[in-house]
Structure 1
Amino acid sequence: MPFPTTSDQYTILTQIGASPNSAVYLAKCDSQDSSTSSTVTVAIKIIETPQIIFDTNLLNTSLTLIDHPNIVRPHCCFFADDNRLWIVMPYMSAGPLQSVLSHSFPRGMPDQFTSILLSQVLQALVYLHRMGFVHKAIKPSNIFFDSQGTVKLSVFDLMISADNKIDRDSSIPYWVPPDDEYSFKSDIWEVGVLAMEVTWGGPPIIDPRILESQVLNISRRFPYELKTETGRRNSGDRRIFGDAVKEFVKTCLLKDRLERPTAASLLDHPFVVKGENANNFLFKSIPKGVIEIDRRFQLEKERIIGIMNNDEGLKNQSEKITKISGWVYNDFLFELEPDGESLGKRVRFGGETIREFEKEEEEEEEEGESSTKVDDTPSLLEIIEKNLMSGGDGSGESSKKKKKKKKIVDQESLVKMLTSVLGNIDAQREMVSMLINHVGYLSEKQSEMSNEIKRLETELKAEKEQYFQLELEYEFLKLKVPDSDDDQKEYPSSSSSSEQINTM
């Protein structure tokens, strides 16, 4: 059906999302077809102050040219009487990927799910690149699941974005590519960051101080659950990431954009090839196990809107932290970290990067044991390093003497010990997560079947009663109407009479 381009044809029901300069609403659209009186549920994004003014008629025509199973395109867009931009889109009840991660995968999606998701995102990206479009905003808030579990990439942002320059004057968020301007290869950097976010379940950063430095940006990118608590990324909370996904991310996050692969070539990457089978039952059941976005937003509405309105508390926190000029990918830890010009000195331990903030280290040495710390409990990594350095003999004297020296831990030994301690716990947790989604889906289906059985039983009962009434009426009619054979004997038919007359 054609969608109207005037605001009075839509009925706003409730708010389901927010961003710094816009809000998203659930709405009903009245059909323009006079022969029907049907209404369609849609999502409407209303932008308060568009950065650029453009011809919406031309844009609506351009949108009709985009047709791909993994792309969700707006039905239409128009400027309302108050000069706000209205974007009418299909309603996806599961909401954006950022909400799905927070609700169902707070510790990240299993690798199998990640490969399926990336495969479908890359197929959409190959299509866009062939048409000459650079997306510029491949992020969880622009990725959706439809009711069948198909991944959909939103493309409206790329249609209205005219500036290809990348702002490098302010502190750089970790997802911004290290390029001077956006290009096809910039999209590849964003795909690599997306893969890390999906695998982590949030920001791919370990150090809580770095998380705090990005708290305002991260809160806008993941508004449904803040994951910036101090010490959240301690050793006991780390996942074991597969080599295939780490190699995929490493390929995408090359600093030199000319060395990054194309979207088409990434479809042949071994990690992505594993996700070509999009009919995975558990993956397709993801939308079934998620609270609908309108209910979820209402539960967290005040906090999310506070974040989007530049909450003063978050602003004050972010102003205390040193500006970050760029990011590098740490393949060993599978995280993004500030480059050498951003935050202090970093010391390497056999492939693992440990950041040392020099001022903080000096203050801790001067204060000694009387200094106040957030958490004095040693992490698993610190215990292992201590045992490795002391030879496992528990010598307090030798460990104190070596405390201020640079530790050199053999990477192979460290990995072996971590692997032996962590085992396959993460794989088991992933399996439990998949089973929970599966059970939730089956429970929903069972509930639907129970309701259908009750409905059929009610219909059957009504049919039986109707049949019983018909039988009674039939018996009653039999009593009132004489039997046909007896009737013929008592009252001969006219044809018989005429035959008798002719014989005479």
Structure 2
Amino acid sequence: MQTIYDAKISDYKTISILGHCFDNKAMVHLAKHLPTAELVAIKKFNLDKIREDIELVESEIILTRQLSHPNIIPYITSFVAGPEVCVVSPLMAYGSCRDLLTRHFSEGLLEPAIILILKDVLSALIYIHKKGYIHRAIRASHILVSDTGQICLTGLRYACPIIKNGKWQRAIHSFPNSTEKNLNWLSPELLQQNLQGYSEKSDIYSIGMVICELANGSEPFAGMAKTLMLTEKVRGCTPQLLDRTTVPREETIECGGDTDISANVLDRRFGRDLHELVSLCFHWDVDMRPSASQLLSHSVFKAVKKAPPLPELLKPALPLSDRVGYDTEEMENFDALAKMSQLEIFSCEWDF
């Protein structure tokens, strides 16, 4: 029997603040749904702070509620409580992939973990594209991980429809609002804003950026001036995975990368299939760039069938355990909760 979550704030007890999102215009809270004692995440948007972006929040809630896929974060319910718009979703106990990189994997995730995450992201993207939408904000902070290793894609406030007046558009010309934080992940054709426009294939370029982000620890062009980043993309600069096959020890990387390369990075080697997958995503000719379903059929996903479960590959990272909510009934503040649970819990930027 499906759990019913009433749209009233009194049904939820806030346990702690998990972090910020939406350019610090909203807070993400860990809360307990009192009727069921289940842990959930609640995003609280301050109406005064999001006054200019209220349409983005509304469109994200509406679109997310229309979609149903195991790899897209569901919104259980949403409601207004005082000066805040509250959106309730399942607790993704590992947080975002960006959180994992920041806290535990500054030089990138293990290759099997990257492939497992990518497999679920592509499944979500296939569904989104079939529904007639371009995501336009695929990045590590919009990829959430549950305690069981399930991957959920979020960030749909930047999505745009491909279908107009009942017809599938070959090219889109609209530029996403409030997109400054997504610029590094966006495709050259989207950033150029020319008459040729862009299509759902622009999301595939973003997938390539995410693979590099998960493998290298940061996205290509990180820290680069936006104008220079755009120039590099337009002139055909192709980001790549950083390992001993792409970064000679006597050289530094010049194209979309970081000059501070550690010995660990110079010693590692990613598989040929993963390198090939990245190259396919960054194909300059959009017509030659594969679709999400074509990417998912790549041979790189066959080898990962024997890989350990994702939570094993994410160690030493630990998820927020469900028992935290049950065993800390009398805990009223975040510090006491973290101490009692003996888990590494602290505020971060959950930008989803």
- Paired position in structure 1 for 2:78: 77
1:165–1:111 CA distance, 2 compared to 1 (3 A): same
User: Structure 2 residue aligned with 1:176, among 167, 186, 191?
Assistant: 186
1:128 aligns with 2:128: yes
User: Structure 1 residue aligned with 2:219, among 203, 227, 230?
Assistant: 203
Counterpart residue type for residue 114 of structure 2: T
1:146 aligns with 2:150: no
The answer to whether the Cα contact below 8 Å between 1:73 and 1:155 also exists between their aligned partners in 2 is: no
Counterpart residue type for residue 212 of structure 2: M
Counterpart residue type for residue 215 of structure 2: T
1:232 aligns with 2:242: no
User: Structure 2 residue aligned with 1:193, among 163, 184, 209?
Assistant: 209
In structure 2, distance between residues paired with 1:114 and 1:89: 24
User: Structure 2 residue aligned with 1:260, among 256, 275, 289?
Assistant: 289
Q: Displacement of 1:9 after TM fit?
A: 2.9
Larger radius of gyration: 1
- Paired position in structure 2 for 1:46: 44
- Paired position in structure 2 for 1:94: 94
* 1:393-408 alignment, distance < 5 Å: none
User: Structure 1 residue aligned with 2:9, among 4, 7, 11?
Assistant: 7
The answer to whether the Cα contact below 8 Å between 2:15 and 2:30 also exists between their aligned partners in 1 is: yes
Q: Displacement of 1:261 after TM fit?
A: 1.3
Q: What are the Cα deviations for residues 353-381 of structure 1, in whole angstroms up to 9, with x where unaligned?
A: xxxxxxxxxxxxxxxxxxxxxxxxxxxxx
1:55–1:139 CA distance, 2 compared to 1 (3 A): closer
Q: Secondary structure at the match of 1:105?
A: coil
Q: Displacement of 1:190 after TM fit?
A: 0.9
- Paired position in structure 2 for 1:248: 277
- Paired position in structure 2 for 1:341: none
1:176–1:75 CA distance, 2 compared to 1 (3 A): same
The higher relative CO (CA closer than 8 Å, separation ≥ 6) is in 2
* 1:55-454 alignment, distance < 5 Å: 63-82=64-83, 84-154=84-154, 156-157=156-157, 164-166=174-176, 173-178=183-188, 179=190, 180=193, 183-204=199-220, 211=223, 213=225, 232-233=260-261, 237-238=265-266, 239-275=268-304, 277=305, 280-286=307-313, 289-292=316-319, 296=344, 298=346, 301=347
The answer to whether the Cα contact below 8 Å between 2:113 and 2:314 also exists between their aligned partners in 1 is: no
Deviates more, 1:118-127 or 1:161-170: 161-170
Q: What are the Cα deviations for residues 79-114 of structure 1, in whole angstroms up to 9, with x where unaligned?
A: 3321x3221110122111112233443322232322
In structure 1, distance between residues paired with 2:16 and 2:178: 37
Q: Secondary structure at the match of 1:43?
A: strand
Q: Displacement of 1:169 after TM fit?
A: 11
Paired residues in the alignment total: 275
1:81–1:182 CA distance, 2 compared to 1 (3 A): farther
User: Structure 1 residue aligned with 2:27, among 23, 28, 37?
Assistant: 23
Identity %: 24
Q: Secondary structure at the match of 1:25?
A: strand
Counterpart residue type for residue 24 of structure 1: V
In structure 2, distance between residues paired with 1:251 and 1:110: 21
Counterpart residue type for residue 15 of structure 2: L
Query: Runs (4+) of structure 1 moved beyond 6 Å?
Result: 58-61, 159-163, 167-172
The answer to whether the Cα contact below 8 Å between 1:98 and 1:141 also exists between their aligned partners in 2 is: yes
Q: Secondary structure at the match of 1:46?
A: strand
Q: CA RMSD in A?
A: 3.7
1:169–1:99 CA distance, 2 compared to 1 (3 A): closer
Q: What are the Cα deviations for residues 433-464 of structure 1, in whole angstroms up to 9, with x where unaligned?
A: xxxxxxxxxxxxxxxxxxxxxxxxxxxxxxxx
Q: Secondary structure at the match of 1:188?
A: helix
In structure 2, distance between residues paired with 1:212 and 1:59: 29
Gaps of 5+ in 1: 32-37, 218-229, 309-504
Q: Displacement of 1:164 after TM fit?
A: 4.2
Deviates more, 1:282-291 or 1:135-144: 282-291
The answer to whether the Cα contact below 8 Å between 1:74 and 1:156 also exists between their aligned partners in 2 is: no
